[in-house]
Amino acid sequence: MRDVTEQEAQRLISFATDRLGRQEGNGQCWTLVNNAFSTLGFHKPSATYNWGREIEQLANARPGDVFQFRNFEVTTRVENDEGYETETQSRGDPRHTAILESIDANGVATFLECNVNGSFNVQRNRFRLSTADLDDGEGTRTTVRVSGSFTIYRARKSGD
């Protein structure tokens, strides 16, 4: 077995983006990834919720990697002179599967996923993966608190 190339990982992303706004299979989060793996000829290990070779550090994640969340929650509080707003996003009760589309230099990740936000349709969502305290220098402070965990998997394929 070998890791999928970046080009092959892009095919996983394309599989998901082609289905944005529509339900894939039964609409469960893992079905999107499972159907993509099957269609693209990626290897699915027999272990439940295992999607390939484990990537140990977030810094090594790349587009097309599969995230397996466990009881993951991101709470973002944005505070300024006018007050504050708090938003909480949860992934995994207890587990959730999503495809990483991108991650920016500020640690904000974009995922392709389904069975979130009350919908079984494939959707694109952005959120931070780590705790942060941010100040824009103009009076707005953002506090991000993260709990739970995730495992990152790199898809594998039989050697060609």
Written as tens digits, the pLDDT of the chain (160 aa) is 899 999 999 999 999 999 999 999 999 999 999 999 999 999 988 888 899 999 999 999 999 999 999 999 999 999 999 999 999 999 988 999 999 999 998 889 999 999 999 999 999 999 999 999 999 999 999 999 999 999 999 999 987 6
Tell me, what's the pLDDT at 93? 83
Q: Give alpha helix (H) positions in the chain.
A: 6-17, 29-40
Report pTM.
Answer: 0.93
**Residue corresponding to tokens 């999607």:** 51
Burial of 1 (0-12, 13-18, 19+ CB in 10 A): exposed
End-to-end CA distance of the chain: 9
In the three-class reduction of DSSP (H, G, I as helix; E, B as strand; rest coil), residue 48 is classed as coil
The full set of domain ranges for the chain reads: 2-54+63-157
Tell me, what's the pLDDT at 160? 60
Tell me, what's the pLDDT at 147? 95
